[in-house]
Chains A and B, each alone.
Chain A
Amino acid sequence: MAASSPSIANEPSTRRAERSFRSVVLIAAISMIVLLVGVIIILYLDARPAIERYGFSFLITSDWDPVFENFGAAPYIFGTIVTSVLALLLATPFAVGAALFISEYAPKTVGGILSFIIELLVAIPSVGFGLWGLYVLAPFMRSTVDPFLRNVIGPIPIIGELFKGPTIGQDLLTASVILAIMILPTILSISREIIAQVPRLQKEGMLALGATKWEMLRMAVLPYAWGGIIGAAMLGLARAIGETMAVTMVIGNSSRAITPSLFTPGYTIASAIANQFTEADSEIYFSAIVELGLVLLLVSAVFNIIARLLVRRMNRQPGGAQAQ
């Protein structure tokens, strides 16, 4: 047989088209790397005075004083980590559960309506969430949820430390709750699409072997979709880390103590930047705020790496376009 068969795929024009297509998408992908590098460079240039002046202490001291020019971002870092992790833990079960329900249990039209409704949450501007959180959620937490948690879980040793102390409703816990509500639709939308992609063959095979519906989901659908769901969760987490407006209205904005209790007012890096950027009036102050942006990228990168290690341990899904 001839080495190269006379098919369309081997004609020069096709090869050209193939090469151009490939280059175009390659450029798109590389531009992402360029963009990130660009952002880091610009941030670094503006942050350099602060980096040189404060060095490592920026990350571990707790004093944020623009007047006397001491800048320590530890409470901000702590607040960011606590609120985003907690938001993810709260949102994911709801998101994945609802995604499973909509894809697998609900009748098609009902499922369509349900997912449309939940995705409306994405349309609500952060300002709207912030105001709702301030006027509705925070008082509700203060009057109902917080006392309940304090009385029921407070007395339990170790875990109880999370729920100690007086509350005014504006604290790390409320901020985590509102973040969870905000990232729920993102995780849900993408998970739903992922779950819908699982080939029928897998599912029907399982059922043919006598599995119950839930067992089929657990053993055929979830393992297949797991990687994609983690991807959705990471996107949700990214939003939680970077959210400013809604958080700053319910978190209490206090950067003094780092305590284990979720009832203490806190502060996140993103809201610190948003609150103080437009009013920074000295060069070192401005630098310190930009450095916060770099620190946020650092926190995000660390989360990312941890998530990847976790995923690798759980094995990537089969059937995807590229075998990893």
Chain B
Amino acid sequence: MTMEQTSTSALNTAVAATQRQALFNHEEARYLRRKATGTFMVGLLTTLTALSVLILFIIVAYITISGIGGIDLAFFIDTPKPLGETGGGIAQAILGTFEMLIVGALIAIPVGVGTAIYMAEYAQGRLASIVRFCLELLASLPSIVIGVFVWAVVVRTFHSFSGIAGAIALAFIMIPIIARSVEEILRLVPNSLREAGLALGVPRWRVIIGVVIPTVLPGIVTGIVLSIARAAGETAPLLLTSLGNEFFNFDLSKPMAAIPLQIYNYATSPYDDWHKKAWAATLVLVIVVAIFSGAIRFTMRKFRYVR
């Protein structure tokens, strides 16, 4: 090579080296920035989660401290005693809540899941949109309005406050939650899964029941548990439908007690002793729902399919 060519090529090499270095620096800087963002986000997300958990601890701690003094065996097996007498409990309310929740869930789960299946699997865009709209409006109804509706349709017609009216009101509260959450979850199952089933000659409904639903079963169960937990704590709709009962009653056609109603009665009274009972009942409600949802979640933990 000539001198010129050598120096040009050296220059080129030098320039290229500088460019590579600059590029490398730039890349490194960018990489560091991306890494920093990632670390920052982890910190942020951890903080958000921690705060959410913290607020829960504060509330549950408050309920526990206020209520733990009122809990004894009598609380679970006795009916309320009048003021001034020690003891007494909310046994009839615990049983009433169970009975109405179970009946309500038996109504709500098929209707809610069925609606979700229709919207996610069969519906043409328009109908699905309309049904979703209806569900969201129904979900935003104040529970007292739901109570008024069931009162007008069931209680007034049959001339009696009743446990079944209460169960219907609870179902009314549960259905939109189940339907909307299950629909969203079903939507996320990739079509490839469905098509694989159909390609094997499996009828559509069996694809849904045998493939799609088991894939997202934990999610469906989460939605159901969420709705039951919510319904368990509602007072207003029960006030106008099942009325409440100071005595034991398992007959769905008669007024029935429920834990939130008992809490409301105790909490709005002037007596400190009854306020303690209100907190105790609140604590019992939280624990019962916690056990229930925990048991279901624990049972379902093996079901999360890895995809």
Which A residues fall within an 8 A CB radius of B? 7-9, 14, 17-18, 21-22, 24-33, 35-36, 38-39, 42-43, 46, 93-95, 97-98, 100-102, 105-106, 112, 114, 116-129, 131-132, 136, 181, 184-186, 188-190, 192-194, 196-201, 212-215, 217, 224-225, 227-228, 231-232, 234-235, 237-239, 241-245, 269-270, 273-274, 277-278, 290, 293, 296-297, 300-301, 304, 317, 319-322, 324
A35 to chain B minimum Cβ distance, whole angstroms, is 7
Let me know if A120 and B60 touch, CB within 8 A: yes
Closest 9 CB pairs of A and B: A28-B114, A125-B233, A97-B48, A123-B289, A238-B140, A238-B139, A270-B142, A193-B219, A21-B205
CB-CB contacts below 8 Å: B100-118 with A? 110-112, 114-115, 117-118
Known: A120-B286, A245-B236. 18 other contacts (CB 8 A): A8-B202, A21-B205, A21-B208, A25-B118, A28-B112, A28-B118, A38-B153, A39-B141, A97-B49, A98-B48, A112-B297, A184-B55, A193-B218, A196-B219, A200-B306, A234-B180, A244-B236, A321-B186
Let me know if B203 and A119 touch, CB within 8 A: no
Chain B residues with CB under 8 Å of A296's CB are: 140-142, 145
Which B residues fall within an 8 A CB radius of A? 34-35, 37-38, 41-42, 44-46, 48-49, 51-53, 55-56, 58-60, 62-63, 110-112, 114-115, 117-123, 125, 127-128, 130-131, 133-145, 148-149, 152-153, 172, 175-177, 179-181, 183-191, 194, 198, 201-205, 208, 212, 216, 218-219, 222-223, 225-226, 229-230, 232-236, 239, 259-260, 263-264, 267, 278-279, 282, 285-286, 288-290, 293-294, 297, 301, 304, 306-307
Measured between alpha carbons, how far is A198 from B137 in the docked complex, in Å?
A: 28
Measured between alpha carbons, how far is A67 from B290 in the docked complex, in Å?
A: 46
Q: Give the nearest-CB partner of A30 in chain B.
A: B131
Chain A residues with CB under 8 Å of B119's CB are: 29
Let me know if A214 and B144 touch, CB within 8 A: no
Q: Can you name 5 A-B residue pairings with CB atoms under 8 Å?
A: A93-B48, A97-B45, A120-B56, A198-B188, A304-B136
Let me know if B203 and A8 touch, CB within 8 A: yes
Let me know if A126 and B188 touch, CB within 8 A: no
Q: Give the nearest-CB partner of A275 in chain B.
A: B144
Let me know if A244 and B118 touch, CB within 8 A: no
Partner of A244, one of B46, B142, B149: B142
Let me know if B114 and A36 touch, CB within 8 A: no
Majority secondary structure of chain A interface residues (helix, strand, loop or mixed): helix
Chain A residues with CB under 8 Å of B62's CB are: 132, 136
Majority secondary structure of chain B interface residues (helix, strand, loop or mixed): helix
Measured between alpha carbons, how far is A122 from B186 in the docked complex, in Å?
A: 23
Partner of A31, one of B111, B187, B306: B111
Let me know if B188 and A190 touch, CB within 8 A: no
Let me know if B185 and A193 touch, CB within 8 A: yes
Measured between alpha carbons, how far is A140 from B48 in the docked complex, in Å?
A: 21
Let me know if B115 and A29 touch, CB within 8 A: yes
Measured between alpha carbons, how far is A46 from B149 in the docked complex, in Å?
A: 11
Q: Give the nearest-CB partner of A6 in chain B.
A: B201
Let me know if B56 and A215 touch, CB within 8 A: no
Let me know if B52 and A22 touch, CB within 8 A: no
Partner of B204, one of A18, A188, A241, A320: A18
B115 to chain A minimum Cβ distance, whole angstroms, is 4
B58 to chain A minimum Cβ distance, whole angstroms, is 8
Measured between alpha carbons, how far is A8 from B205 in the docked complex, in Å?
A: 13
Chain B residues with CB under 8 Å of A31's CB are: 111, 115
Q: Give the nearest-CB partner of A37 in chain B.
A: B134
Let me know if B59 and A124 touch, CB within 8 A: yes
- Given A25-B117, A197-B189: A235 and B45 within 8 A (CB)? no
Q: Give the nearest-CB partner of A289 in chain B.
A: B148
Let me know if A322 and B187 touch, CB within 8 A: yes
A112 to chain B minimum Cβ distance, whole angstroms, is 7
Partner of A26, one of B118, B137, B208, B304: B118
A209 to chain B minimum Cβ distance, whole angstroms, is 13
B62 to chain A minimum Cβ distance, whole angstroms, is 6
Chain B residues with CB under 8 Å of A33's CB are: 130-131, 134
B209 to chain A minimum Cβ distance, whole angstroms, is 8
Measured between alpha carbons, how far is A129 from B290 in the docked complex, in Å?
A: 17
Let me know if A42 and B45 touch, CB within 8 A: no
Partner of A123, one of B38, B122, B229: B229
Partner of A43, one of B42, B127, B145: B145
Measured between alpha carbons, how far is A54 from B307 in the docked complex, in Å?
A: 59
Let me know if A126 and B233 touch, CB within 8 A: yes
